[in-house]
Amino acid sequence: MNLFMTDHSYDSIDIDSIKPPWAMCFSKLLLSSQVHCKQLVRIGDVDDGGWEVCDDPENRPSRSCLVYSFGVANDWTFDDEVSRVYGCEVHSFDPSIGLKDHKRSDKITFHNLGLWEKPKGKRGKWDMMNMAEIIEMLGHKGKIIDILKMDIEAMEFGVISSMVTSGVLKNIRQLDFEFHGGPNFKEDIRSKLIPLRGLYEHGFRLFWSHPNIKGVNPTLFSVTGRQLSTCNENYFLNTNLRKL
């Protein structure tokens, strides 16, 4: 079974038949672009705080754009710049930095709230909601979210699974997230491949990815002996929301 078909089709994957080494297969899959973005721009810090945006006319944020940014960690460069460059309404979320809800600017609203896959609840002292609940709370049900960025420290695949199930993906134009784990992880590969296949089935295609090599991220990969990052940033376009 060839996991990496020439068209990189996730629907061609027979998840039950995948054989080791898991980490090699999974890492290769997240580095296999599926659609071409001709105009890639970096929004925010050129180091760890910025994120890429596909600025092609059919994919760029709309005139009255909406952005969700999960995981600020006191680096506001993406949030500030995406509001300045595109004029977007930005909602920033992070329960870990000790800030209360506030207006950072006329376009940026901060929420002392975290994202997970479960119904509204607590994670220690943090208030948490799932994506569907947050969208409803903010009155954005049915609206296009031009960019959804999340750096949520290893909770990303559970959140993606919940977005697949709840149906909110259909209104997300660009999805950016950092994958945390590996390169020598041993957890069930299904928990990560199934959400990725769900993205594919909803029209999402990987247009850019790169390792985050900051700090202690590079780790020896036991299969090849090479240094690989434990974190990779991945960027998806919703091909069902391309502008005509």
- The structural domains of the chain, ordered by start, are 35-241 (3.40.50)
Indicate the pTM of the whole model. Answer: 0.84
- Residues 205, 34 contacting (CB under 8 angstroms): yes
Cβ atoms of 151 and 70 within 8 Å: the answer is yes
Between CA 90 and CA 18 the distance in angstroms is 40
Query: For residues 46 and 25, what is the distance between their CA atoms, to the nearest angstrom?
Result: 29
Q: Contact 63/36 with Cβ under 8 angstroms?
A: no
| Amino acid 67: pLDDT | 98
- The answer, yes or no, to whether residue 180 has pLDDT greater than 80, is no
> Band of the pLDDT at 155, cuts 50, 70, 90?
confident
pLDDT band at 49 (very low <50, low <70, confident <90, very high): confident
Q: Is the pLDDT of residue 185 over 50?
A: yes
The distance of Cα 172 from the centroid of its chain, to the nearest Å, equals: 11
**Mean pLDDT computed over 225-242:** 79
- Provide, rounded to the nearest whole percent, the portion of the chain with pLDDT above 90: 62
Q: Are 171 and 208 in contact (CB under 8 A)?
A: no
| 189-205 residue pLDDT tens | 667 778 888 999 999 99
Q: How confident is the model at residue 5 (pLDDT cuts 50, 70, 90)?
A: very low
Instruction: Give the least confident one: 95-109, 132-146, 227-241.
Output: 227-241
User: What is d(CA 42, CA 27) in angstroms, rounded to the nearest whole number?
Assistant: 23
Distance in angstroms (rounded) separating the CA atoms of residues 93 and 67: 11
- In the predicted model, what is the mean pLDDT of the chain? 84
Q: Give the residue with greater pLDDT, 33 vs 79.
A: 79
Q: What's the pLDDT score for residue 242?
A: 92
- Counting residues of the chain whose pLDDT is more than 70, the rounded percentage is 75
CA distance 30 to 230: 13
Please state the separation of Cα 184 from the chain's center in Å. 21
Residue 69's pLDDT band (boundaries 50, 70, 90)? very high
Evaluate if residue 19 carries a pLDDT over 90.
no
| Residue 20 in this model has a pLDDT that exceeds 70 | no
Residue-level pLDDT at 4: 34
